[in-house]
Amino acid sequence: MRDKSLCIESFLSELEQLCKSCSQSNVFRITTVVANPNFLEEYLTDLILPRNLDDLIALAISSWYVDSPIVQSVIQLHLFEKLVDPDYWILELFLASKVRCELFLVETTMYHTRDFWGNLMTERRLQRVFKNLNFVRRSNLVKETQRKRGYHDKGSMKPLHKWQPTHDWSLTQLHYELEQKRKALDDTVLLIEGIIT
């Protein structure tokens, strides 16, 4: 933090107290017992996450202070899926471990304590973020089967006498590019951690 009069112990204890108080009142809705035997058929295991980067950062920081380890891991797994987008590289710093998250918050110059407590980690924001964590429900619209004669492909198969590729190199190239982006993101995060510590 850019605050020279920062007391690290009081800062971390206030952060833990705020995150626990906001998460306990709202996470209970996710962990309650459902009396519906068709729960897994009606709901998917995907969570609806916020789209705002500040909301995602607040959720990533406060996820370390959630009492339920199952809910904590589900939230963090869904946040890890956001790391594919290069705009969300900062989330990896907060999701690495609880110690790294706290160390980054203490050593960073991105925030001042007034900015951190007044804009990022507010009680209103945390309650809204945890209140909006919901499982995705499947659509109840019934699809009528379409009757048709013959096969589904209607002759879309290539004739056997024409040349067919034995390997799809475009998928291999796409996978290679994705791996390169992830490696560049990891290198950037390690560089930032090295500069901070």
Q: What percent of the chain lies above the pLDDT cut of 90?
A: 27
Domain count within the chain: 1
Spatial CB neighbours of 24, under 8 Å, sequence gap ≥ 6? 67
Q: What is the pLDDT of residue 185?
A: 84
Q: Does the pLDDT value for residue 50 go beyond 60?
A: yes
Domain, as residue range, for 112: 42-139+178-197
Rounded to 5 degrees, φ, ψ at 72 are -60, -45
For the ranges 68-72, 96-100, 141-145, 163-167, the maximum mean pLDDT occurs at: 96-100
- Tokens at 85, concatenated: 């987008």
Q: What is the pTM of this model?
A: 0.67
Is residue 138 within 8 Å of residue 44, measured between CB atoms? yes
Domain membership flag for residue 133: yes
Query: Is residue 153 one of the residues assigned to a domain?
Result: no
Q: Looking at the domain assignment, is residue 93 inside a domain?
A: yes
Query: What is the rounded distance in angstroms from the CA atom of residue 123 to the CA atom of residue 23?
Result: 10
- What are the φ/ψ torsions at residue 43 (nearest 5 degrees)? -120, 145
In a domain, 18, yes or no: no
Among 76, 69, 72, smallest CA distance to 96 is for 76
Residue 154's region, left for phi above 0, alpha for psi from -120 to 50, else beta, is: left
CA distance 4 to 147: 73
Residue at 14 is within a domain = no
The answer to whether residue 66 sits within a structural domain is yes
Q: Is residue 173 part of a domain?
A: no
Q: What would the two tokens of residue 129 be?
A: 């973020």
Assigned domain for 111 exists: yes
